[in-house]
């Protein structure tokens, strides 16, 4: 019984390797799960990888290969003989083979394609042609296909004969002249009272499907929403061309959430895990936004330049608080809206409802923050810090600015991501760092505007 502790065996394997106990190594590895073997391989010396990999039984070797990082896969492929490469490829599902091919340099791709069986080569090439992020690019062509005229007994026999190479046998797709007309689960087949019932009578005729062009994020959400094991992918004539299974959908969900979070945090998204990213990788993903935002902060600088003679110390001490509160209010709204857009909870047509909701929320937040702020200014800045310039009138200016800033920030925060989506951009790009810059500029303008008016500067 393995509790979840994939690295407990790392030292044991290392010692067995040093002691050249290959038979025992093989036995130990054979008890492990492919994901865990791949994780342990990451931790062992790179030059022992080809040897370790060759110790694995064939099926386990291929499954482990799929779970490995691209650089280790490349290292192994470069060391494989043609027949070894063919053996691994024969055991792979087409969608996994495509994932690997997409990560390899051109000369390795050539070797893979020439080693693959003709059918698989054709499938790989077909799948490579679908646009990135489309359902076509992540589907597999290995599914169980049944005909309407089969009986339940025929279907079970068919699955037993052909199922071994299919990515899932649990949902079968019923076709009539390649057009998808229904689905039937193995549960239905096994639980059918009568083996002579026709498939057409037990199948579910209302098939929910996606097209090859559907966005993979939408596919993942549909699998999650409907609790399906797999979703069929059809072409423009509703002929089934592949399926996408729940495990691929889970990877997509995880990747898309990570991507959204990275973009919201002001970075360009990265495929590599953190520990595998070099400082230069991290630098490349972070520097564009840092530069852009530094330059865009020029606006706030210009505003302060313009109001130079009004920059009394009393007003300046509240600038950080106003800017931070504005930035926080804006990112609260933008982050909420971006996530709701990602999960398909709202669409562009909801924009008026969203704006109305945010305006009311902003007024509530603005009033409460302003009242608290007035108390804070009078207590801390006026009394405790004993700053004579901080009069109740200054406090009022600060609080009035606060209310306006929060309202503007929430309005910008909710509308920009929706407009971005409508225009075909990733809404996450409109998240906090970008909105902060706009809100900063607006809050300064409002601040000096109100101050000029109220304090007669």
Residues in 180-219 that interact with its own copies by CB under 8 A: 180, 186-187, 190-191, 206-211, 214, 218
387: contact with its own copies by CB under 8 A = yes
Query: How far apart, in Å, do the first and last CA atoms of the chain sit?
Result: 76
Secondary structure class of 355 (helix, strand, coil)? helix
List the one residue out of 407, 393, 413 whose CA is nearest residue 446.
407
352: contact with its own copies by CB under 8 A = no
- Give the Cβ contact number of residue 172 at 10 Å: 27
Q: What's the sign of the alpha-carbon dihedral 212, 216, 220, 221?
A: negative
Helix axes 319-342, 432-455, angle to 10 degrees: 140
Number of residues that bind its own copies (CB under 8 A): 130
Distance in Å, CB of 87 to its own copies, minimum: 21
Q: Are strands 168-176 and 179-185 parallel, antiparallel or unpaired?
A: antiparallel
Interface with its own copies in residues 277-306 (CB under 8 A): 277-280, 282-283, 286-287, 289-291, 293-295, 297-298, 300-302, 304-305
Cα distances (Å, whole numbers) of residue 364 to 357, 359, 410? 11, 9, 12
Query: Which residue number, 76 or 377, has a Cβ lying nearer to its own copies?
Result: 377
Q: Which stretch binds its own copies (CB under 8 A): 83-91, 110-118, 119-127, 315-323?
A: 315-323
Query: Which residue number, 123 or 167, has a Cβ lying nearer to its own copies?
Result: 167
- Give the Cβ contact number of residue 399 at 10 Å: 23
Q: Which stretch binds its own copies (CB under 8 A): 50-58, 70-78, 119-127, 308-316?
A: 308-316
Interface with its own copies in residues 246-265 (CB under 8 A): 246-247, 249-251, 253-254, 257-258, 260-262, 264-265
> What beta strand segments (E) does 136-201 contain?
143-147, 168-176, 179-185
148: contact with its own copies by CB under 8 A = no
354: contact with its own copies by CB under 8 A = yes
224: contact with its own copies by CB under 8 A = yes
Interface with its own copies in residues 332-351 (CB under 8 A): 332, 334-340, 343, 345-346, 350
Interface with its own copies in residues 25-64 (CB under 8 A): 31-33, 35
Q: Could you give the CA distance from residue 75 to residue 73 in angstroms, rounded to a whole number?
A: 5
Q: Which of 75, 109, 321, 378 binds its own copies (CB under 8 A)?
A: 321
């Amino acid at each position: 019984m393995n509790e979840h502790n994939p690295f407990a065996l790392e030292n044991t394997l290392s010692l067995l390797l040093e002691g050249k106990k290959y038979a025992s190594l093989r036995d130990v590895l054979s008890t492990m799960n492919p994901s865990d073997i791949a994780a342990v391989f990451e931790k062992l010396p790179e030059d022992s990888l080809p040897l370790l990999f060759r110790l694995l039984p064939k099926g386990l070797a291929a499954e482990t290969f799929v779970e490995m990082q691209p650089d280790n896969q490349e290292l192994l492929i470069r060391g494989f003989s043609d027949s070894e490469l063919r053996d691994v490829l024969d055991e792979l599902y087409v969608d996994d083979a495509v994932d690997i091919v997409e990560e390899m340099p051109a000369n390795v791709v050539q070797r893979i394609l020439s080693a693959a069986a003709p059918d698989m080569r054709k499938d790989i090439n077909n799948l490579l042609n679908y646009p990135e992020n489309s359902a076509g690019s992540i589907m597999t062509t290995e599914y169980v296909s049944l005909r309407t005229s089969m009986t339940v007994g025929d279907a079970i026999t068919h699955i037993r004969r052909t199922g071994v190479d299919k990515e899932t046998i649990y949902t079968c797709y019923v076709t009539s002249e390649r057009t998808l007309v229904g689905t039937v689960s193995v549960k239905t087949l096994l639980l059918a009272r009568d083996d002579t019932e026709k498939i057409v009578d037990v199948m579910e005729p209302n098939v929910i499907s996606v097209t090859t062009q559907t966005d993979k994020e939408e596919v993942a959400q549909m699998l999650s929403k409907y609790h399906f094991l797999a979703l069929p992918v059809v072409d423009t004539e509703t002929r089934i061309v592949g399926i996408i299974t729940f495990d691929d959908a889970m990877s997509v969900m995880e990747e898309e959430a990570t991507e959204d979070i990275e973009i919201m945090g002001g970075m360009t998204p990265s495929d590599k895990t953190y520990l595998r990213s070099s400082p230069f990788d991290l630098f490349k993903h972070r520097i564009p936004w840092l530069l852009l935002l530094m330059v865009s902060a020029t606006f706030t600088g210009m505003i302060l330049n313009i109001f130079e003679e009004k920059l009394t110390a009393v007003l300046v001490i509240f600038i950080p608080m106003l800017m931070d509160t504005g930035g926080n209010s804006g990112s609260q709204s933008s982050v909420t809206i971006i996530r709701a857009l990602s999960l398909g909870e709202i669409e562009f047509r909801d924009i008026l409802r969203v704006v109305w909701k945010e305006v009311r929320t902003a007024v509530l937040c603005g009033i409460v923050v302003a009242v608290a702020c007035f108390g804070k200014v009078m207590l801390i800045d006026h009394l405790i810090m004993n700053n004579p310039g901080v009069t109740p009138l200054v406090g009022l200016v600060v609080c009035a600015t606060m209310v306006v800033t929060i309202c503007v920030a929430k309005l910008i925060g909710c509308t920009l991501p929706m407009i971005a989506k409508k225009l075909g951009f990733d809404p996450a790009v409109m998240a906090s760092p970008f909105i902060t810059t706009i809100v900063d500029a607006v809050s300064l303008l409002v601040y000096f505007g109100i101050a000029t008016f109220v304090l007669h500067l």
